[in-house]
Structure 1
Amino acid sequence: MKSRPAVVVLAAGRGSRFRGLHHKLMQGLGASTVLATTLSNALATQLPVLVVTTEPLAELVSHHVATRDVVVLPSVGSPESQALGMGYSIAAGVAARSDASGWLILPADMPMVRTSTLLTVAREIDSHAIAYAQHRGLRGHPVGFAAELYSELVMLTGDDGARRLVARYPAHGVEIDDPGVLLDVDTEDDLARVRVAQQETQFREAR
C-alpha cells in the first residue's frame, strides 16, 4: 500500500504574544476552540495526523487524537527546550512519521485553513519537493515537503523553522481561494479577526 503524506500540526509554541488568561490554542472559536478546529480540519483530510506539543497542552490534544499520534516536547522555557524552536518541532514530527510520502506543516493556531486546502497542497508534493498554499500571491500555510527532504527536515532546529529549506529549494506556490492560509492567532486582535472570518464562512455556507 502506497504511503500518504502526513499532516504535522505544530502546537508546541508558548504563545507569549497572546495576552488572554489562557493559552491561545484554548480560546473559544464558535462552539469549539482554536486547537480543536485546526485538528478537526486536519483530521477531515483522512491523511495521517501527528501533533507536536508540550506537556501543558498534551492533555488538551489527547481529547482529539490518539496518544500514538502525539509527540510531547520539553515545555518552552525549560532547560531542555532552549534553542530548539519551531525547527525542532518540525524535525520531531517528521521523524515520528518517517514512513510518510511527505509532510504538510500546519501551525495549530491557523484554524481557518480548509480541509480542501490541505488536500490540494498534499497533491502538489507528488511533483514538487516543496509546495505551499498562497492566497492572492501571499505565501501562507500549510507548507508541504516531499519525502526526498527527510534527512534535512529531521536536522532542523531554531526559530526559523524550515525557512532555509524553502529558500534553498524551488518552492511551488499553490494559489488557493482560501484566506485562512494567511490567518493565524498570535494576539487577541488576531483572534477577533479569525472569529469574524469563521462567522462569515458559516453565513456563506448556510445560504
Structure 2
Amino acid sequence: MSFSVPCTGILLAAGRGRRYDLSGASDKLMQLLPDGHTVALSSALNLRAVLPDMVVVVRPDNPDLVREMEQHGFRTLICEAADTGMAASLTCALRDTMDSAGWIIALGDMPFVRPVTIAALHHSLLNGADIAAPVFQGRRGNPVGFSRTHLPELLQLSGDQGARHVLSHANVTTVNVDDAGILHDVDVPADLIFPSAAC
C-alpha cells in the first residue's frame, strides 16, 4: 500500500508546562532562547528542516502560540481535549494525518534537537524500522519515529499515556546520535540555556 505522504512530523505543543511556572503566568513555549526564537518556534523549525509536511498541535486557549506558528507558515491543529493529557494531542494529530506512512513525534519544549538527528530517524523509518528512537551516550531520548505498524495501538492511548507506553514493549530500532539535545527539555527557566558541556 502506498501513502500520499511518506512521513509526517508532529510537534506536540499543547501542554501547560506547569513545572515552569506554577502560577501559569508564563508559557514556557513562548520564552525566548539565546538565538531570539521562542522555545516552540525553534522546536518547530528543527522539525520542518527535515519534514516539510508537519503539524503543530496546540491547545485552544493559546492564541499567541497559534499566531506565531501561523506567521511562520506552520499548520496548527487545535486539540480541544488537550488538557486531558498528552495522548489526546497525539491521537488528534494522528487522526488528522492518516495519509502518512509514518510519523516523527517531537515535543514543543525540546528546542535543541538537531535536524541531523531528525534526519537520521527519518532515514531509519524509510529503511524499514517500525520504531526509531535516538540514543546519546547510552540514553534514549526524543523525538521518536513510528511507522504505521503501531498506529492502532497509538490511537488507543488515553490520558497521560504518551508514546512511551508503546515503546515499553515494542521492538525499537535505536539510532546513535551525537546530540545531547535529545535529552534536554525545558522544564524550568534555567533550561532555556543549553549547557555548553552537553553540546
2:162 is aligned with what amino acid? Answer: G
Given candidates 9, 12, 26, the residue that maps to 1:10 is 12
- Can you give the 5+ residue segments of structure 2 that lack an aligned partner in the other structure? none
Q: Which residue of 2 aligns with 1:122?
A: 122
Normalised by the length of structure 2, the TM-score is: 0.86
Distance 1:57 1:92 in 2: 17
Normalised by the length of structure 1, the TM-score is: 0.83
The alignment covers a number of residue pairs equal to 192
Helix, strand or coil for the counterpart of 1:51?
strand
Given candidates 48, 51, 55, the residue that maps to 2:53 is 48
Contact 1:130/1:172 (CA < 8 Å) preserved in 2?
yes
Distance 1:3 1:73 in 2: 22
Identity of aligned residues (%): 32
Shift of 1:58: 4.1
Shift of 1:75: 6.6
Given candidates 60, 68, 77, the residue that maps to 1:71 is 77
Distance 2:102 2:67 in 1: 24
1:32 is aligned with what amino acid? Answer: H
Indicate the larger mover: 149-158 or 136-145.
149-158
- Can you give the 5+ residue segments of structure 1 that lack an aligned partner in the other structure? 202-207
Shift of 1:123: 1.4
Tell me which protein shows more helix as a share of its residues. 1
Distance 1:180 1:114 in 2: 7
Contact 1:5/1:104 (CA < 8 Å) preserved in 2?
yes
Distance 2:81 2:96 in 1: 19
Q: Which residue of 2 aligns with 1:186?
A: 187
Distance 1:181 1:27 in 2: 19
In the TM superposition, 1:1-207 aligns within 5 A as: 3-19=5-21, 21-29=25-33, 30-65=35-70, 69-74=75-80, 81=83, 84-126=84-126, 127-192=128-193, 194=194, 196-197=195-196
2:182 is aligned with what amino acid? Answer: V
Helix, strand or coil for the counterpart of 1:56?
coil
2:6 is aligned with what amino acid? Answer: R
2:131 is aligned with what amino acid? Answer: I
Contact 1:131/1:144 (CA < 8 Å) preserved in 2?
yes
Distance 1:97 1:74 in 2: 17
4+ residue stretches of structure 1 with deviation over 3 A?
65-68
